[in-house]
């Protein structure tokens, strides 16, 4: 890491290059660095002075799109939550790696439009005539954080460590990495938030410290996880983790809103069509939650009506949510083979841990006072800054396990690189993912293994290729082929492919680093940064085209089987929509393709439901339940 100088007059930090730590949060996000003089992590603030006065370090994770397509992030975007809710995106982190099926029970909570045409597809958000993935939305927040850091530090910021909940799955972690790439950041490491928190507290940073077993209780705005770690001689060993990536302070806000609606005799369905009022209530509930952490009651006037709630009622409302977190604590301890008394230290992380009931409950469960001396909103970013300092080579007292230098993955539809093991993963490492066939009766599958950081395989290096044959003839989408990657301590990669229904299996052994010089590895990393925007655009276009092609095939098969059950007008409308979608696939506008996919879905949805209802009625004819 380059040397940093402090301008005493302005209090600003100046340096050539730095690795920053970023906490990409559901409600707020922030950036931190390691201070060059004090060697302590420091959250960046807009105004920094020698007197200690400063602005907030937090940037609201809110994105607003105006009518002209301009993007606003942070405090300015917050102003539009009520005035223009359909164009103002919040809680994007909750959508990362999620399908509509995962979030449909909570869809009414969002004032913006989430596409629901396919419950199993990863969600997209529609703003006007544009479609955005959670990855793109998160990239806008990360880009704002990057610009903010560059403004404060007076130097380009291109490298970062980004934190994620320990309970994030591979899809969510990869989505976070992709968001960083799209924002112009070289994401050197994705680090678990509990590990970051322990680093921020200084636990385990000295190799001569006594062994400790710690529990990290992390309740943020949208996610919760608890991790149990054994820290010995500067080595972090995660014994267990448990949690819920859809549980957090947002749920406490919703509990308050539901309480107020019940008090007023208003149904949730009525509120869905009043997005402005729904947003006002959500913001009021968030204000009430914070106020009740230090007061016994809350009251405010909204549109002439008085909203009231006391702490006792609030605690009663959130008790089921708190109990869900305690169930995770019990399971994490069980998985680790430990009892509450075995835990030496309990760290509290996340803004929602300010709620007195939560502190009291966690303390009672573990039988000791909780550790909450650091700002729960900043502690994760501070830990990420410590990790960044370690990666920069400035901390020699911690043991870093060996890692794989470049990402490893396979080729999927459209020539895309699907990463199974991201670069910087500790080795030995194992990962697997399930795939399926695209053609009816497909009996074989070619597995092409690639190494590199680009989104298209043509820009990466092919390591190996083999065929999985003997798959029994089944309809497309029915076979389940599990691809497994395992890197041993010597860096040898073994790839397995197994069709789970039939047991057909094949495997190959490759050496990921063979034939790659250090200069080639460095060039591949530099290319991934230089071409990040082009790569993401190409990936988005390829995914949209693949989705469109699959929809055309599905619709065509449906018409062949059920044409006699459709009216002439329905057939003509469908043919027209299919023709327009087919034409859009020849163009390079992914938003246009998404629009035409939506148009075909809108045309086919009514008669598809009707045909299904008639099929069920025919099957049940003459039968009783």
- For residue 302, list its beta bridge partners: 305
Give dist(CA 429, CA 488) in Å, integer: 7
Q: What percent of the chain has pLDDT over 90?
A: 37
- For residue 72, list its beta bridge partners: 64
Q: What percent of the chain has pLDDT over 70?
A: 85
The owner of tokens 């500790």 is 426
Closest to 311 (Cα-Cα) out of 298, 299, 323 = 298
Give 236-278 as a 3 state SS string: EEEEEEEEECCCCHHHHHHHHHHHHHHHHCCCHHHHHCCHHHH
Instruction: Say yes or no to pLDDT of 489 above 90.
Output: no
Higher pLDDT, 494 or 536: 494
pLDDT average, residue stretch 451-470: 84
Higher pLDDT, 8 or 286: 286
pLDDT average, residue stretch 377-404: 76
- Per-residue pLDDT tens over the stretch 406-451: 788 999 888 889 999 887 677 778 888 888 887 888 888 888 988 8
Higher pLDDT, 397 or 145: 145
Range with the lowest mean pLDDT among 448-462, 507-521, 590-604? Answer: 507-521
Long-range contacts of 558-565 (CB under 8 A, 24+ apart): 558/604, 558/608, 562/611, 565/607, 565/610, 565/611, 565/614
Question: Helices marked H in 423-499 — which ranges?
Answer: none
- At 232 the pLDDT is 75
Helix (H) or strand (E) holding 314: helix 311-336
- Per-residue pLDDT tens over the stretch 288-332: 999 999 999 999 988 878 899 999 999 999 999 999 999 999 998
How are beta strands 493-499 and 481-487 bridged, if at all?
A: antiparallel
Phi, psi of 385 (to 5 degrees): -65, -35
Instruction: Say yes or no to pLDDT of 576 above 50.
Output: yes
Contact yes or no for 562/614 (Cβ under 8 A):
no
With vertex at residue 373, the alpha carbon angle to CA 49 and CA 152, rounded to the nearest 5 degrees, is: 25
- At 160 the pLDDT is 95
Confidence of residue 525 (pLDDT cuts 50, 70, 90): low
Higher pLDDT, 29 or 99: 29
Distances in Å between the Cα of 610 and the Cα atoms of 83, 117, 557, 605, 615 are: 39, 16, 17, 9, 9
Higher pLDDT, 9 or 419: 419
Give dist(CA 338, CA 218) in Å, integer: 19
Closest to 170 (Cα-Cα) out of 544, 497, 485, 501 = 485
Contact yes or no for 209/13 (Cβ under 8 A):
no
Residues annotated catalytic, as ranges: 23, 93, 193, 218
Question: Helices marked H in 113-225 — which ranges?
Answer: 134-153, 170-182, 193-200
Range with the lowest mean pLDDT among 341-345, 505-509, 511-515? Answer: 511-515
- At 15 the pLDDT is 46
Closest to 604 (Cα-Cα) out of 565, 573, 581 = 573
Closest to 420 (Cα-Cα) out of 99, 174, 123 = 174
Give dist(CA 536, CA 543) in Å, integer: 10
- For residue 410, list its beta bridge partners: 418, 449
């Amino acid at each position: 890491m380059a040397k940093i100088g402090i301008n005493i007059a302005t209090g600003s930090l100046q340096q050539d290059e730095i690795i920053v730590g970023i906490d990409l949060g559901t409600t707020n996000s922030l950036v931190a660095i390691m201070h060059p003089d004090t060697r302590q992590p420091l959250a960046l603030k807009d105004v920094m002075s020698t007197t200690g006065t400063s602005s907030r370090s937090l940037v609201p994770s809110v994105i607003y799109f105006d009518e002209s397509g301009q993007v606003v992030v942070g405090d300015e975007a917050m102003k539009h939550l009520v005035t223009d809710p359909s164009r103002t995106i919040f809680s994007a982190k909750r959508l990362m790696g999620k399908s509509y099926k995962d979030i449909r029970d909570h869809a009414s909570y969002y004032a913006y439009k989430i596409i629901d045409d396919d419950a199993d597809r990863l969600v997209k958000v529609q703003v006007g005539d544009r479609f955005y993935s959670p990855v793109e939305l998160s990239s806008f927040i990360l880009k704002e954080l990057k610009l903010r850091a560059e403004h404060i530090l007076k130097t380009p910021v291109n490298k970062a460590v980004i934190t994620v909940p320990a309970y994030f799955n591979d899809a969510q972690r990869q989505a976070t990495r992709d968001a960083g790439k799209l924002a112009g950041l070289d994401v050197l490491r994705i680090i678990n938030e509990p590990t970051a928190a322990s680093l921020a507290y200084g636990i385990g940073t000295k190799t001569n410290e006594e062994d400790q077993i710690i529990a990290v209780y992390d309740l943020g705005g949208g996610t919760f996880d608890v991790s149990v770690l054994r820290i010995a001689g500067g080595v972090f060993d995660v014994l267990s983790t448990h949690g819920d990536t859809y549980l957090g302070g947002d749920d406490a806000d919703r509990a308050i809103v539901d309480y107020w609606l019940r008090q007023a005799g208003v149904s949730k369905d009525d509120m869905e069509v009043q997005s402005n009022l729904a947003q006002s209530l959500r913001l009021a509930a968030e204000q009430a939650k914070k106020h009740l952490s230090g007061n016994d009651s809350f009251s405010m006037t909204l549109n002439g009506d008085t909203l009231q709630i006391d702490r006792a009622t609030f605690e009663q409302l959130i008790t089921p949510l708190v109990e869900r977190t305690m169930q995770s604590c019990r399971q994490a301890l069980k998985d680790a083979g430990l009892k509450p008394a075995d835990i030496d230290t309990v760290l509290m992380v996340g803004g929602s841990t300010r709620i007195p009931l939560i502190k009291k409950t966690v303390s009672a469960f573990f039988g000791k006072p909780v550790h909450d001396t650091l700002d729960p909103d900043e502690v994760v970013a501070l830990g990420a800054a410590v990790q960044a300092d370690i990666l920069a080579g400035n901390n020699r007292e911690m043991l870093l396990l060996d890692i794989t230098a470049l990402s490893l993955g396979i080729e999927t539809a459209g020539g895309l690189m699907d990463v199974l093991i991201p670069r910087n993963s500790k080795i030995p490492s194992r990962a697997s993912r399930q795939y399926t066939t695209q053609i009816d009766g497909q009996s074989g599958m070619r597995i092409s293994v690639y190494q590199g950081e680009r989104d298209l395989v043509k820009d990466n290096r092919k390591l190996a290729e083999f065929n999985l044959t003997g798959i029994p003839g089944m309809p497309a989408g029915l076979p389940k082929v599990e691809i497994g990657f395992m890197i041993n301590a010597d860096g040898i990669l073994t790839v397995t492919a197994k069709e789970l229904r039939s047991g057909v299996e094949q495997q190959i052994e490759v050496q990921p680093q063979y034939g790659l010089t250090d200069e080639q590895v460095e060039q591949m990393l530099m290319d991934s940064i230089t071409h990040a925007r082009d790569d993401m655009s190409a990936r988005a276009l390829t995914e949209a085209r693949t989705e469109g092609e699959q929809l055309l095939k599905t619709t065509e098969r449906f018409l062949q089987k059920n044409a006699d059950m459709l009216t002439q007008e329905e057939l003509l409308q469908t043919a027209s929509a299919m023709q327009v979608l087919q034409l859009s696939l020849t163009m390079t506008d992914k938003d246009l393709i998404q629009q035409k996919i939506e148009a075909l879905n809108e045309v086919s949805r009514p008669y598809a439901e009707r045909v299904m209802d008639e099929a069920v009625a025919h099957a049940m004819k003459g039968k009783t339940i």
